[in-house]
């Protein structure tokens, strides 16, 4: 079974085969973790995103696309688009879970053995952090038995609030 780890860090420093980006459907970059990944990874990542846009016109919410990782220590960046929180009645939960599932599926296709996730949608997109963490951990746990390459899954929390929430929920999950 793959190992799940929770850390507090900047995802651009993580040496996983794949790191996940909380992008937007334009794939042209933005603030938050997306801004950090493009800033540290360099222009190669944006160039590849532009090629994907030309081919398929961006990325839909809940879907994922992959590029190289430029100057980052990872091999790939998996760009997924989280839902914008609109109160909870617009399929936000389902779409957020899909982000984690599609990213894992893509990482498997790329033969990655490790993948690092940020707390998708919990910044600019205002998804409530506790709900988002429960959805993320549940979605990933449900996928574990489908994974053949991935051995390590890292949840990279940037802010302390998310880190404490994830630790709490993991403790609860391991008690079940
Ligand atoms: N490493 C890890 N996590 C980070 C980092 C980092 N360097 N920087 C921020 N976070 P956000 P969203 C955390 O806003 O809510 C962008 O403009 C942050 O604390 O990056 O999915 C995109 O282009 C938060 O918990 O993404 C989209 O337009 C989490 O990353 C939009 O924001 C997500 O916050 C996506 O919004």
What does the alpha-carbon distance between residue 5 and residue 80 come to, in Å, rounded to a whole number?
20
Closest ligand 1 atom to residue 31 Cα is 17
pLDDT surpassing 80 at residue 173: no
What's the mean pLDDT when you consider all of the chain? Answer: 97
Read off φ and ψ for residue 166, nearest 5 degrees. Answer: -60, -40
Query: Given this model, what pLDDT does residue 174 score?
Result: 74
Q: Provide CATH code, domain 3-170.
A: 3.40.220.10
What does the alpha-carbon distance between residue 93 and residue 171 come to, in Å, rounded to a whole number?
22
Our mutation pick for probing the ligand 1 site, out of 32, 65, 122, counting the most ligand atoms within 8 A of Cβ, is 32
Q: Outline where the chain has alpha helix (H).
A: 32-41, 43-56, 92-109, 129-143, 160-175
What does the alpha-carbon distance between residue 176 and residue 145 come to, in Å, rounded to a whole number?
18
Host H or E run for residue 156: strand 152-157
Chain centre distance of CA 7: 14
Would you say the CB of residue 159 lies under 6 angstroms from ligand 1?
A: yes
State the distance from the centre of ligand 1 to the C-alpha of 118, rounded, in angstroms: 7
Chain centre distance of CA 59: 14
Would you say the CB of residue 61 lies under 6 angstroms from ligand 1?
A: no
Domain ranges of the chain: 3-170
**Conformational region of residue 32, where left means phi above 0, alpha means psi within -120 to 50, and beta covers everything else:** left
pLDDT surpassing 80 at residue 176: no
Would you say the CB of residue 166 lies under 6 angstroms from ligand 1?
A: no
Torsion angle of the four alpha carbons 160, 162, 164, 170, in this order, in degrees rounded to the nearest 10: -150
Length of the chain (residues): 176
Whether 168 is catalytic: no
Would you say the CB of residue 11 lies under 6 angstroms from ligand 1?
A: yes
Which pLDDT tens digit goes with each residue over 91-120?
999 999 999 999 999 999 999 999 999 999
Query: Given this model, what pLDDT does residue 71 score?
Result: 98
% of the chain with per-residue pLDDT over 70:
99
State the distance from the centre of ligand 1 to the C-alpha of 44, rounded, in angstroms: 20
Question: Do the Cβ atoms of 99 and 21 come closer than 8 Å?
Answer: no
Helix (H, G, I), strand (E, B) or coil at 121: coil
State the distance from the centre of ligand 1 to the C-alpha of 129, rounded, in angstroms: 12
| Rounded CA Rg of the chain | 15
Which pLDDT tens digit goes with each residue over 144-167?
999 999 999 999 999 999 999 999
Would you say the CB of residue 161 lies under 6 angstroms from ligand 1?
A: no
Question: Do the Cβ atoms of 20 and 80 come closer than 8 Å?
Answer: yes
């Amino acid at each position: 079974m793959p190992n799940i780890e929770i850390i507090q860090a900047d995802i651009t420093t993580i040496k996983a085969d794949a790191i996940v980006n909380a992008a937007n459907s334009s794939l042209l970059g933005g603030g938050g973790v997306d801004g950090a990944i493009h800033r540290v990874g360099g222009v190669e990542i944006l160039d590849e995103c532009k090629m994907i846009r030309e081919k398929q016109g961006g990325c839909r919410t809940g879907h994922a696309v992959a590029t190289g990782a430029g100057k980052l220590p990872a091999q790939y960046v998996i760009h997924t688009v989280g839902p914008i929180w609109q109160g909870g009645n617009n399929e936000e939960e389902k779409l957020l879970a899909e982000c984690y599932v599609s990213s894992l599926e893509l990482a498997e296709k790329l033969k990655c053995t490790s993948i690092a996730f940020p707390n998708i949608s919990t910044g600019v997109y205002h998804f409530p952090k506790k709900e988002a963490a429960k959805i993320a951990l549940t979605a990933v746990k449900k996928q574990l038995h489908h994974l053949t390459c991935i051995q390590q899954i890292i949840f990279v929390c940037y802010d302390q609030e998310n880190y404490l929430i994830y630790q709490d929920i993991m403790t609860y999950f391991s008690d079940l």
